[in-house]
Amino acid sequence: MTLDTVHRAGQTPGERQPYTELGMKDDEYARVREILGRRPTSSELAIYSVMWSEHCSYKSSKVHLRQFSTKAPKSEALLVGMGENAGVVDIGDGWAATFKIESHNHPSYVEPHQGAATGVGGIVRDIMSMGARPIAVMDSLRFGAADAPDTRRVLPGAVEGISSYGNCLGLPNIGGEVAFDPCYIGNPLVNALCVGLLRKDQIKLATAPGPGNKVVLFGALTGPDGIGGASVLASATFEDESQAKRPSVQVGDPFMEKLLIECCLELFAADVVVGIQDLGAAGVSCATTELAAKGTGGMDVKLDLVPLRDPTLRPEEILMSESQERMMAVVTPEDIPAFTAICNKWDIPVTVIGEVTDTGRLVMTWHGETIVDIPPGTAADEGPVYERPYHEPTGQAALNAAGPDGLPRPTDLRATLLTLLGAPNVASKEWVTSQYDRYVRGNTVLAQPADAGVLRIDEVMDGATPTNRGIALATDGNGRYAKLDPYAGAQLALAEAYRNVAMSGAVPLAVTNCLNFGSPEDPEVMWQFAEATRGLADACRTLGVPVTGGNVSFYNQTGSAAIHPTPVVGVLGVLADVRRRVRHGFPEAGARVVLLGETHAEFGGSTWADVVHGHLGGLPPAADLAAERALAAVMAEAAERGYLSGAHDLSDGGLAVALAEACLASGVGCTVSLPGEDAFTDLFSESSARAVVAVKPEHFDDFADLCARREVPCYGLGVTGGDSLVVEETLEIPIEELRHTHQATLPGIFG
């Protein structure tokens, strides 16, 4: 077997290399040759092909994502912004939170259980690599039609994967979404969010400074996981020794990850880590090039020292392996014994594989022979950047013109509410969420089905200040709105997540996003992407919440049929005193039911149009960001002053669904009358920037004054109490009937 060394590459300039099979374009390959002044070795080709892939380089999205920085609002809370493993936000009292959402869409279609499980594992390691203790996860899931046969394969598998991995890690799952639409058949969206906690002065970064410092690989052994591409390379260049069938999806071991979490926290506490990076996509290639590029600039690695699960692996395969539960750290030589001792305590394999240099080169050897010699920045940061062409889709104007105005309005509003409440997108997601541990670690204040997950900040860390603070998190997205208008759709996704966080009484601070789209090579998809990023960046500026990081997932399409553009937005907020959080829905009888915000007849992309008429057309509701901001300010102040007993935002299905869900939260009914002229519009419109709150009767006047001061329209609708949802002169439904309708749907489909 021939080892493709740097020396050999110099002597065989004309050897054909399988760069096309590795997904590289002719000009990209030419550029690698130009950088190196020779053909790359097969190992170098492995590194450049993965690092310059869409997934790692963001080559199609970069020019648009820049707006998240250039348009970013000033934020004193932002400690670490975009470009690191995850953003970090100051949450007060010396504490910081780090959070990020990331997709694992394609693997979850191929192998739902492992795909979704390793999605959780990957995002958790991102959070760990910031120096934080992961404290909770959330999942935003989208599938094809609920009753489609393939959904019955993908959904239970993905949920079980998240359940088995996340539960075993000991991280509470405190919220997220489950949505269905035929456009996601064949392209489910599995977006996982993790939040971590650290002391403000403890942030770690992915950097390898200090020549002479050691490069340490620790965690699971490296095996042939997720390296389909490298196999292409091996088969084109080498004989067939390591050509066993490869799993194309990585397999996770949550037990190893749990040990890795505890081990990392001890390493951080012992202050024996100079720089750290998790191994995710592109494994060792990514970790070495990124650490070296951000550090002193050079690194020597003995690749044959990487501990292997499969001893037949070739260097190219080691470089591309996506084996899970691995981390890379930079450690001073003096600290190596202490570092190793902590790893040994947690039974974590640990190996020094190299050293930081000041040569400006990443050099890798294989049993003494040089197989990689590149400037690391060229792989990590200087990948190709594309200005992809884009234009408005043919048919977009027609889609926007075919609004919902002509759809027949219902005569029986009671039946309409029950129909919506039982529709898979609105129905209770308890079948899913009851498979997740929402209580572990003992700090869960609110979790599903609350609008936002809320956690108390109470972690044992050296030097930490005790605090009564809490954080709130929510994710939202609406592909139907974004299909009608990607600019507004992205803003509405942000607005809803922001509003959900505000419902708990928290002040929204920062944003993470997961941008799920079709192929960037399709100018119509690229237009959707350009519009959505522009909309999101503009809205972040208006709402004063910066984007701290996130992820782009392209190629969510089958043939030429792309998914609806689906920007999923996560918002993190902070509660100065978590004991003052606002509960979900109607927790007690005797409170005044108040509607906040203005209602217009807005049915484009609505749940009613979808469920009752199978209709998608027109324009989505207007995104009124000033109104969202005012609403959030009212909620924060009302929470602090203790005016509210509960709250619920208005979104899918409008006021009708919000009232029903608020009644179901604690089994407390209500009797209300409608403020407007048209009961149907009042009940089912999806105008944004609205909420229904339960105001303690003794604070009703104060609350009304507060709303007036903030210019938030408020309408007293009635009172909580009783065993039914009563809308005077319109409908009356016993809570038991609401509950049955709401809860029966998913078990009916998934067993």
513 is in an annotated binding site: yes
List the structure tokens of 695.
């105001």
8 Å CB contact between 579 and 455: no
Work out how close the CB of 459 gets to another protein at its nearest, in angstroms, rounded to a whole number.
8
250 is in an annotated binding site: yes
439 is a contact residue toward another protein (CB under 8 A)? yes
Q: In angstroms, rounded to a whole number, what is the distance separating the alpha carbons of residues 686 and 426?
A: 13
Catalytic hit among 55, 564, 699, 742: 55
Determine how many CB atoms are found less than 10 A away from the CB of residue 146: 21
Place of tokens 């592109």: 282
100 is in an annotated binding site: yes
Residues 6+ apart with CB under 8 A from 295: 207, 208, 209, 210, 275, 330, 356
Place of tokens 């046969």: 149
Helix (H, G, I), strand (E, B) or coil at 603: coil
Residue 181's closest CA among 534, 536, 741, 652? 652
Place of tokens 């393939």: 150
Residue 313 to residues 226, 320, 367, 502, 724, Cα–Cα distance (Å):
13, 11, 14, 51, 65
8 Å CB contact between 89 and 97: yes
Residues 76, 240, 347, 698: which binds another protein (CB under 8 A)?
347
163 is a contact residue toward another protein (CB under 8 A)? yes
Work out how close the CB of 443 gets to another protein at its nearest, in angstroms, rounded to a whole number.
6
* Residues β-bridged to residue 512: 549, 570
Work out how close the CB of 438 gets to another protein at its nearest, in angstroms, rounded to a whole number.
6
Work out how close the CB of 583 gets to another protein at its nearest, in angstroms, rounded to a whole number.
10
8 Å CB contact between 559 and 438: no
Work out how close the CB of 255 gets to another protein at its nearest, in angstroms, rounded to a whole number.
3
Work out how close the CB of 646 gets to another protein at its nearest, in angstroms, rounded to a whole number.
13
- CA end-to-end distance (rounded Å), the chain: 53
Residues 125, 258, 388, 648: which binds another protein (CB under 8 A)?
258
Return the range that interacts with another protein (CB under 8 A); candidates 51-59, 62-70, 96-104, 430-438: 430-438
| Size of the chain in residues | 751
104 is in an annotated binding site: yes
204 is in an annotated binding site: no
396 is in an annotated binding site: no
- Please, which residue, 53 or 163, has the CB nearer to another protein? 163
List the structure tokens of 506.
């928290």
Return the range that interacts with another protein (CB under 8 A); candidates 164-172, 403-411, 522-530, 568-576: 164-172
387 is in an annotated binding site: no
Residues 184, 339, 436, 608: which binds another protein (CB under 8 A)?
436
Work out how close the CB of 180 gets to another protein at its nearest, in angstroms, rounded to a whole number.
20
462 is a contact residue toward another protein (CB under 8 A)? no
DSSP label of 450:
S
Q: In angstroms, rounded to a whole number, what is the distance separating the alpha carbons of residues 323 and 560?
A: 32
Q: In angstroms, rounded to a whole number, what is the distance separating the alpha carbons of residues 193 and 102?
A: 6
442 is a contact residue toward another protein (CB under 8 A)? yes
- Please, which residue, 211 or 449, has the CB nearer to another protein? 449
Residue 666 to residues 75, 585, 645, 723, 734, Cα–Cα distance (Å):
37, 7, 12, 11, 14
Residues 189, 445, 490, 595: which binds another protein (CB under 8 A)?
445
Q: In angstroms, rounded to a whole number, what is the distance separating the alpha carbons of residues 742 and 562?
A: 31
255 is a contact residue toward another protein (CB under 8 A)? yes
- Helix (H) and strand (E) counts for the chain? 27, 28
Q: Which of residues 653-712 bind another protein (CB under 8 A)?
A: none
449 is a contact residue toward another protein (CB under 8 A)? no
Catalytic hit among 64, 104, 584, 648: 104
Determine how many CB atoms are found less than 10 A away from the CB of residue 595: 25
Q: In angstroms, rounded to a whole number, what is the distance separating the alpha carbons of residues 194 and 455?
A: 13
Q: Which of residues 77-106 bind another protein (CB under 8 A)?
A: none
Q: Which of residues 204-223 bind another protein (CB under 8 A)?
A: none
Residues 4, 126, 253, 496: which binds another protein (CB under 8 A)?
253
346 is a contact residue toward another protein (CB under 8 A)? yes
168 is a contact residue toward another protein (CB under 8 A)? yes
Residues 214, 456, 469, 699: which binds another protein (CB under 8 A)?
456
Return the range that interacts with another protein (CB under 8 A); candidates 67-75, 271-279, 438-446, 525-533: 438-446
Q: In angstroms, rounded to a whole number, what is the distance separating the alpha carbons of residues 429 and 439?
A: 17
Residues 251, 270, 407, 440: which binds another protein (CB under 8 A)?
440
435 is a contact residue toward another protein (CB under 8 A)? yes
245 is a contact residue toward another protein (CB under 8 A)? no
Return the range that interacts with another protein (CB under 8 A); candidates 156-164, 409-417, 604-612, 683-691: 156-164
Return the range that interacts with another protein (CB under 8 A); candidates 194-202, 241-249, 437-445, 689-697: 437-445
8 Å CB contact between 195 and 101: no
- Please, which residue, 450 or 502, has the CB nearer to another protein? 450
8 Å CB contact between 368 and 315: no
- Please, which residue, 199 or 710, has the CB nearer to another protein? 199
Q: In angstroms, rounded to a whole number, what is the distance separating the alpha carbons of residues 651 and 684?
A: 10
167 is a contact residue toward another protein (CB under 8 A)? yes
Place of tokens 């799952």: 173
List the structure tokens of 350.
């640990």
437 is a contact residue toward another protein (CB under 8 A)? yes
Q: In angstroms, rounded to a whole number, what is the distance separating the alpha carbons of residues 728 and 629?
A: 31
551 is in an annotated binding site: yes
438 is a contact residue toward another protein (CB under 8 A)? yes
Residues 406, 460, 466, 729: which binds another protein (CB under 8 A)?
460
Residue 416's closest CA among 728, 653, 736, 662? 653
Return the range that interacts with another protein (CB under 8 A); candidates 168-176, 595-603, 635-643, 704-712: 168-176
281 is a contact residue toward another protein (CB under 8 A)? no
Residues 6+ apart with CB under 8 A from 541: 71, 72, 73
Q: Note if 564 is an active site residue.
A: no
Q: In angstroms, rounded to a whole number, what is the distance separating the alpha carbons of residues 429 and 187?
A: 21
- Please, which residue, 340 or 433, has the CB nearer to another protein? 433
8 Å CB contact between 92 and 199: no
Residue 682 to residues 596, 656, 690, Cα–Cα distance (Å):
12, 8, 12
Size of the site for another protein (CB under 8 A): 33
Q: Note if 104 is an active site residue.
A: yes
Fill in the per-residue mask, 485 to 524: x = in contact with another protein (CB under 8 A), - = not in contact. ----------------------------------------
Residues 254, 422, 535, 597: which binds another protein (CB under 8 A)?
254
8 Å CB contact between 491 and 535: yes
344 is a contact residue toward another protein (CB under 8 A)? no
Fill in the per-residue mask, 560 to 599: x = in contact with another protein (CB under 8 A), - = not in contact. ------------------xx--------------------
Q: In angstroms, rounded to a whole number, what is the distance separating the alpha carbons of residues 131 and 518?
A: 34
109 is in an annotated binding site: no
Return the range that interacts with another protein (CB under 8 A); candidates 64-72, 442-450, 544-552, 724-732: 442-450
Q: In angstroms, rounded to a whole number, what is the distance separating the alpha carbons of residues 729 and 117?
A: 49
323 is in an annotated binding site: yes
Could you list the residues that contact another protein (CB under 8 A)? 160, 163-164, 167-170, 253-256, 258-259, 346-347, 433-445, 456, 458, 460, 578-579
Residues at the annotated binding site? 58, 100, 102-106, 125-126, 250, 278, 322-324, 513, 550-551, 553
Q: Which residues are catalytic?
A: 55, 104
